[in-house]
A and B are shown apart, each in its own frame.
Chain A
Amino acid sequence: MPVNLKPVDVAVVGLGAAGGVAVLPLVRAGLKVAGIEAGTWMDPHNDFHPDEIHNNRRHGVTTVPKVQREIPTVRANPGEVARQGTASPMMNAIGGTSIHYWAQSWRLKPWDFQARSETLRRYGAGAIPNGSTLEDWPLTYQDLERFYDTIEHEVGVSGKAGNIQGQLDPRGNIFEGPRSREYPMPPLRGSGFTDHMAETARKLGWHPFAPPAAINSQTFQGRSGCVYHGYCSSGGCHVSAKGSTAVTTIPAALKTKHLTIFDNAQVTRIVAGTDGKVTGVLFLRSGREYFQPAKAVLLGSYVFENTRLLLLSKSKAYPKGLANNHGQVGRHFFAHYDSWAGNSMKALFPFDINIWYGLPAQGSCVDDFADDSFNHAGLGFIGGTSMHVYTEVHPISAAESERFGKAPAWGSAWKKYVRENAARVAQCYLQTSTLPYESGYLDLDDQVRDPLGDPVCRVTTGGPKENEVRAGQHAHGKMEQWFREAGAVAVSRGNITVAGVTTHTYGGTRMGDNPETNVTDKWGFSHEAPNLGIVGGSVFGTSGARNPTLTIQALAWRTAEHLVKNWKAII
């Protein structure tokens, strides 16, 4: 029998990028919150080092027990055997993957929320790709603007506005949706190379800008500015300049004394009563089982676990899994066409570009070919790609890097090549907006189980889609033009495909007005279990051409605020 804990108002499952934000508006309203997190606190002094072997080779920051025991299996199509990968890209910790992410903090574009109706309006019904389950989001960019603004100021985002209430500023991104005010901090500085790339983009008639990041460009709320030391990716920040929820919203929530954190605690089931309302969560901690009663539950783990926990939580009211009486849990799954899907390029310059230091969020970005910034007539796809060149290269990866057919992979000839060129290879990050399709979904694996005996999540990607592959190829052409114009003497392209288990996955509990095709309503609450909210990328209906975290956090804040404002009606 589980140990019964003292009831709380809200149980939040997972204190990562999403749950770690959602707790703050709840406790500020005086609600008693239990935050149940599979990982624990990380220590900036003991856990985070400028050490490639520790961070990037042995994954010393990101290798934590729970996610590694339940890595999803992946297959392209039903009928194939789904294979389990060797590592999860996500981590458990207080702060979750926001501990080690790149911290690029984008707003989606107005188009991303209305991609279906905007495509119909501009290009007609024939432009919607076959098999796509694309719907408009149940909210607009304008609806979310206030929450984007809140996160930018609560967490701290560095950037330069390109559109303040319709007033365009070419120092920022002129293709962004209108924002109510400037960022709280100026953008991170550029490096010699990224400044050179920005200048080149301007020569091409494009509109480069320094992308927004939840990384302090100067001291912010008592946390240091970035020191640009070059070990941001897959490493935690030793000066807490990176705005993970572990150093921003979670400590702010703890100050109210209304948040209790259960760390190293694995939620195994969400419990529902016969009336269809959820009553709390079961979790394991140090070998004991606990029941945390709660008047409402916010589910805030990653995309795979959000779906898996719902499907595992069967009850009388929900025989096919919690909130799944319409069979929509796990549907509309998709993953970004970004470097995980081979959508990457490298370039060789005939001079030292010196991008050793810095961080992936330090860069120059071009949005001219993203989303609906350009006319798609005759191109054969909708959506597009944001192009970002950035810094941070570590010595082992530099030595192993692309040789552009100019040298062997070892021996004296390789030594000569790598001596000359290790400081001359540029990288880029291309993110293509991605649509959901009927053929992409998550369910429970019928073979592979975690150590508790529960099936792991199974990803069926549906294979690469023509629309996204064409959009990626279009971006490859533009990116090559950018690199060549900047002086590159060789450019390599990845082979664009589809990815399954990545840090940029979406869907499974899609948000929409229609309960027949969506799991959550426009506030992020289940259409079926009224006191169950779901936060995270699992509610997205389109990806945009951007890193998802800021949108995840804006939505999480909005879902939590909705719960506060409608407390009596929801519980």
Chain B
Amino acid sequence: MPPEPAETTPDAISRRTLLAAATFVPLSALLATAQTAPVLPPAQTKALSAFVDRLIPADELGAGALDAGVMNYIERALAGAYANRRAGLVEGLLALDDYARRKYGFVFSDLSADQRDAVIGAAETGSADGFANSSAFFASVRSLTMEGMFGDPFYGGNRNYAGWDLIRYPGPRLAVGPPEQAMKVEIKPVRMSARGGDHAR
């Protein structure tokens, strides 16, 4: 797989710049278009949102996956570094809705939270009848969700460092001394992207 998300490479920018110059369309407009073009069909976007929302729900411990920008992370990843996983994900989301319809009469995103949890649990354990490869699908979505929640905000998720705050990760430091490696202490968190810039808004 390519090492970088395509939209962040200098090459991608320069292609856009060239394109902008050729057609006299302002670069900002082009970028806005690029950002709003859906990576997943609307129905699958809804299903995926409803899924990641239950994997990491908003609760008394703080933001959930949706508030933390996990969908933004996944969409950017699927448009770039993980383009080869897009088709498989769509297929899995279609199967998810099919299973939800068979079991409860509605697509996944229209189910109650409890029903969605039951479907996710069945997918996780591979016990969802007629939902092929459901545990691999579950593992794939969970992995993407974890990356979006706990990865560097540079990639579009972990908004306001919600993921790092949740697990008390003290953040990337350029150099680390013995106090930051002590046991049984709260380490003062550093909240910045390792890539610089302000990505966490």
Interface of A is mostly: loop
Contact between B176 and A227, CB atoms less than 8 A apart: yes
A443 to chain B, nearest CB (A): 29
Contact between B147 and A229, CB atoms less than 8 A apart: no
Check A464 for interface membership: any CB of B closer than 8 A: no
Q: Which of A49, A411, A416 is the one whose CB lies under 8 Å from B55?
A: A411
Contact between B185 and A354, CB atoms less than 8 A apart: yes
A50/B194 contact (C-beta < 8 A), A193-B183, A411-B57 known: yes
Contact between B183 and A351, CB atoms less than 8 A apart: yes
For the complex, give the distance between the alpha carbons of A410 and B186 in Å: 25
A87 to chain B, nearest CB (A): 9
Check B92 for interface membership: any CB of A closer than 8 A: no
Number of CB contacts from chain A to chain B under 8 A: 143
Q: Which residue of A lies closest to B170 (CB)?
A: A356
Q: Which of A50, A61, A395, A411 is the one whose CB lies under 8 Å from B169?
A: A395
**Mask for A39-55, Cβ within 8 A of B = 1, else 0?**
00000000001111110
Contact between B163 and A52, CB atoms less than 8 A apart: no
Q: Which of B56, B120, B176, B184 is the one whose CB lies under 8 Å from A352?
A: B184
Q: Which B residues are CB-close (under 8 A) to A196?
A: 183
Q: Which A residues are CB-close (under 8 A) to B173?
A: 50, 229-230, 357
Contact between A411 and B54, CB atoms less than 8 A apart: yes
Contact between B61 and A412, CB atoms less than 8 A apart: yes
Q: Which B residues are CB-close (under 8 A) to A419?
A: 61, 166-168
Q: Which A residues are CB-close (under 8 A) to B168?
A: 352, 419, 422-423
Contact between A352 and B61, CB atoms less than 8 A apart: no
Q: Which of B3, B152, B167, B176 is the one whose CB lies under 8 Å from A230?
A: B176
Contact between B195 and A357, CB atoms less than 8 A apart: no
Check A400 for interface membership: any CB of B closer than 8 A: yes
A396/B150 contact (C-beta < 8 A), A422-B169, A423-B168 known: yes
Q: Which A residues are CB-close (under 8 A) to B176?
A: 227-230, 357-358
For the complex, give the distance between the alpha carbons of A396 and B73 in Å: 14
Check A409 for interface membership: any CB of B closer than 8 A: yes
Check A186 for interface membership: any CB of B closer than 8 A: no
Q: Which A residues are CB-close (under 8 A) to B59?
A: 412, 415
Check A391 for interface membership: any CB of B closer than 8 A: yes
Check A192 for interface membership: any CB of B closer than 8 A: yes
Contact between A411 and B167, CB atoms less than 8 A apart: no
Q: Which of A345-392 contact B (CB under 8 A)?
A: 351-358, 391
Q: Which of B3, B56, B181, B184 is the one whose CB lies under 8 Å from A358?
A: B181
Q: Which residue of A lies closest to B64 (CB)?
A: A415
Contact between A50 and B172, CB atoms less than 8 A apart: yes
A171 to chain B, nearest CB (A): 19
Q: CB within 8 Å of B: which residues of A?
A: 49-54, 57-61, 63, 189, 191-193, 196, 227-231, 351-358, 391, 395-396, 398-400, 409-412, 415-416, 418-419, 422-423
Question: Can you show 29 pairs from A to B with CB atoms below 8 A apart?
Answer: A49-B194, A50-B174, A51-B154, A51-B172, A52-B151, A52-B152, A54-B152, A58-B1, A59-B3, A63-B3, A189-B178, A193-B181, A228-B175, A231-B172, A351-B183, A351-B184, A353-B183, A357-B170, A357-B173, A391-B181, A395-B164, A395-B169, A398-B167, A400-B146, A411-B57, A415-B56, A418-B166, A419-B61, A422-B168
Q: CB within 8 Å of A: which residues of B?
A: 1, 3-4, 54-57, 59, 61, 81, 117, 120, 124, 142-143, 146-147, 149-152, 154-155, 163-164, 166-170, 172-178, 180-187, 194-195
